Amino acid sequence: MEINVEHNLIEIIGWLGFVLILFGYYYNAQQKIFCFYIWGVGNIFFLIYALLIQAMPQVAMSIFVLGMNVYGWKQWSKGV
């Protein structure tokens, strides 16, 4: 049985992004501003994953959500 290390690494990147995004949602529900950092890192991992598997709709969604993370952080930082 041949183990494809590159494929496994790509899957790990995707799952890491997924888990970080989930934690970002959790901490957002707890109204913790650091949720945006976790979300942002998770979205960067998921963006890399989407690029590696050449899933352009996921790339577009990751870029959009990453932009919304920055917008949300700015809004929360202002106290809005």
Q: Where are the domains of the chain?
A: 5-78
Is 70 exceeded by the pLDDT of residue 75?
A: yes
Which pTM was predicted? 0.84
pLDDT number for residue 50: 95
Give me the phi and psi of 17, to 5 degrees please: -60, -45
The predicted model gives 42-65 an average pLDDT of 94
Predicted confidence band of residue 6 (pLDDT cuts 50, 70, 90): confident
Is 90 exceeded by the pLDDT of residue 78?
A: no
The predicted model gives 54-70 an average pLDDT of 93
Q: How far apart are CA 6 and CA 4, in angstroms?
A: 6
The predicted model gives 63-77 an average pLDDT of 91
Predicted confidence band of residue 7 (pLDDT cuts 50, 70, 90): confident
Residue 10, both tokens: 């790509």
Q: How far apart are CA 33 and CA 7, in angstroms?
A: 34
